[in-house]
A and B are shown apart, each in its own frame.
Chain A
Amino acid sequence: MSTVKILRVILRGLPNTLLLLSWSLILATVLGMLLTRMKLAKGRFWQGLANLYLNLVRGTPPLLMLLLSYYGLPVLLKLISINIEHWTRLMFGVFGLTIGWSAYLAEAFRSAYLSVDPGQLEAARSVGMNNRDALFRIILPQAAVNALPNVENLVIGLVKATSLVYVLGLFDMYNEAANLSNQTAGIHQLQIFVLLALTYWLIVLIIEAIFRQIRKHFALMA
């Protein structure tokens, strides 16, 4: 089978892979920030809630997280009369990955926040800035810079994790490739999977290049 033909099949799954990646990343970032905010809150209630979530999620393999979302979430939500039967497989995939990566990102955000020198906040206060300005102008920008290396690793992990959505019957790059391999009774298996690996590798390379640029841009601020 020609390389071009195999690649064409693999790339049929690219939109789904990229949709999973980008939506999960955006939503997990938002949720992760919320969790970080809860963990750093003074109230025990919010801290406890965040800890419960983080512990549960961290202890669950991503594959299982996807299966639980797909089979469990509709049942769970039906209990409170919310019907999500019209959800597409993609939405379940995004949901499962979001839950998982929100927890990992929350941990990265929290440690980045805590690694900002307390002297920065003191300096901001001493020049008369209020807490809000100090947070948004001084603390959070520095925390964001601190978080970059960990976030990069998590994004690369997420790229690879998108391949797990085959368990939901969703056709991403991996599932397209596996399907093609099955159709041809495994004769071209090696060829197909090497090409698939190269495709993932290329995506990761692009992500690394983007992060390198971002890091370079902010290097002086750390």
Chain B
Amino acid sequence: MLLSVKKLEKRFGKRTVLKGVDFSVDQGEVVVIIGPSGSGKTTLLRNLNFLENADAGTMNFKDRQIDLAHPKKDDVHFVRRHSAMVFQNYNLFKNKTAQENIAEGLIYGQGMDKRQALTIASDELKSLGLAAQANHYPSQLSGGQQQRIGIARATVLKPDVILFDEPTSALDPELVGTVLDDMRRLAQAGQTMVVVTHQMSFAKNVASRIVFFDDGQIVESGSPDQVFNHPREERTRQFLGALAENY
């Protein structure tokens, strides 16, 4: 097991948003999390990267065991160093160019030599067909380009796992495909990924496992075929039924 959390709890004020979540990811898995809005999917991902402080729970990541409510600074840094996050709103560094955005984590997160990092970033942009945008700032890039660079910023770190929070939901429909293609390629290359998305075709075709999340809990988890075609739980059926009507 690469990453697992047990009994993860998170409250915002009086509201309990994560109600004792047990969640795990194996090396090489592509886990797609689906579920209704407000069910706590984003909060779960943010807790996995310590962007929120959990109220209870434990995490096992590689060889470390971490108390989620009281993580040691060193553990937080360790997890962030070996994982990466792709955000719904891209969150590219606005004061850095495309190339610098990709290099920044290599230099200041991993201590790589600056020249080497910039070379890696530039090669990465070339392979994405975005070489011409290397010196563009995020404000000069389309949403699709920004998110593809956001993904590149994560992948160059060679993280053990990349966490994606609705990476395409802020994009114009015609740009969604380019981003999903990058993600599909990553999955094929064996990258371990946890993806929150409403893109059901991606979930069906790329996921190795589907997790249906509702009301702060995992309702069911299984292969795409099992969850989509033979859901065990009534709530899953309702959710998928509502989706089918809306799309």
B139 touches A220 (CB 8 A): yes
Residue of B nearest to A138 (CB): B93
Pick from A123, A125, A128, A220: contact of B157, CB below 8 A. A128
Kindly state whether residue A206 has any CB partner on chain B within 8 Å. Answer: no
Stretch of A55-63, A74-82, A114-122, A147-155 with 4 or more beta carbons under 8 angstroms from chain B: A114-122
Contact (A127, B95) CB under 8 Å given A220-B139, A221-B137: no
Interchain CB contact under 8 A, A129 and B91:
no
Residue in B84, B110, B137 whose CB lies within 8 Å of A126: B84
> How far apart are the CA atoms of A211 and B153 in the complex, in Å?
33
Say whether B51 contacts A122, CB under 8 Å.
yes
| Complex contacts, B80 vs chain A, CB 8 Å | 125-128
Contact A119 B108 (CB under 8 A): no
Binary CB contact string for chain B from 91 to 123 against chain A (1 if under 8 A, 0 otherwise): 111111000000011001110000000000000
Number of A-B contacts (CB under 8 A): 70
A123 touches which of B50, B87, B139 (Cβ 8 Å): B87
Nearest Cβ distance between residue A129 and chain B, in whole angstroms?
5
Residues of chain A with a CB closer than 8 A to B93's CB: 120, 123-124, 138
The number of chain B residues with a CB under 8 A from chain A is 27
Question: Cα distance A200–B39 when bound, in Å?
Answer: 60
Residues in B neighbouring A122, C-beta threshold 8 A: 51, 85, 87, 91
For A119, the chain B residues whose CB sits under 8 A away are 87, 89, 91
Within 8 A of A (CB), among B134-165: 137, 139-140, 153-154, 157
Query: What separation, in Å, do the CA atoms of A160 and B50 have in the docked complex?
Result: 49
Q: Are B85 and A126 in contact (CB under 8 A)?
A: yes
Q: Does A13 contact B (CB under 8 A)?
A: no
Contact code string A135-147 (vs B, CB < 8 Å = 1, else 0): 0011001100100
Q: Return chain B residues, CB-CB under 8 Å to A137.
A: 104, 108
Closest A residue, CB atoms, query B102: A127
Give the docked Cα–Cα distance between A141 and B95 (Å): 7
- The answer on a CB contact under 8 Å between A129 and B108 is yes
- Please give, as numbers and ranges, the residues of chain B lying within 8 Å of A129 by CB-CB distance: 104-105, 108-109
Quick one: CB contact mask for A26-59 with B, threshold 8 Å, 1 for yes? 0000000000000000000000000000000000
The listed residue with most A CB atoms (<10 A of its CB), out of B84, B93, B154, is: B93
Q: Mark A62-76, 1 if CB is under 8 A from B, else 0.
A: 000000000000000
B77 within 8 A of A: yes
Query: With a CB–CB cut-off of 8 A, which chain A residues contact B89?
Result: 119
Chain A to chain B contacts (Cβ below 8 Å), 20 pairs: A117-B91, A120-B94, A122-B91, A124-B104, A125-B49, A125-B50, A125-B80, A126-B84, A127-B105, A127-B109, A127-B157, A129-B105, A129-B108, A129-B109, A130-B77, A133-B108, A137-B108, A138-B95, A221-B95, A222-B94
**Chain B contact residues, CB within 8 Å of chain A:** 49-51, 77, 80-81, 84-85, 87, 89, 91-96, 104-105, 108-110, 137, 139-140, 153-154, 157
Enumerate chain A interface residues (CB-CB to B < 8 A): 117, 119-120, 122-130, 133, 137-138, 141-142, 145, 220-222
* Ranked 6 nearest A-B pairs via Cβ: A128-B109, A127-B105, A123-B91, A126-B85, A119-B91, A220-B137
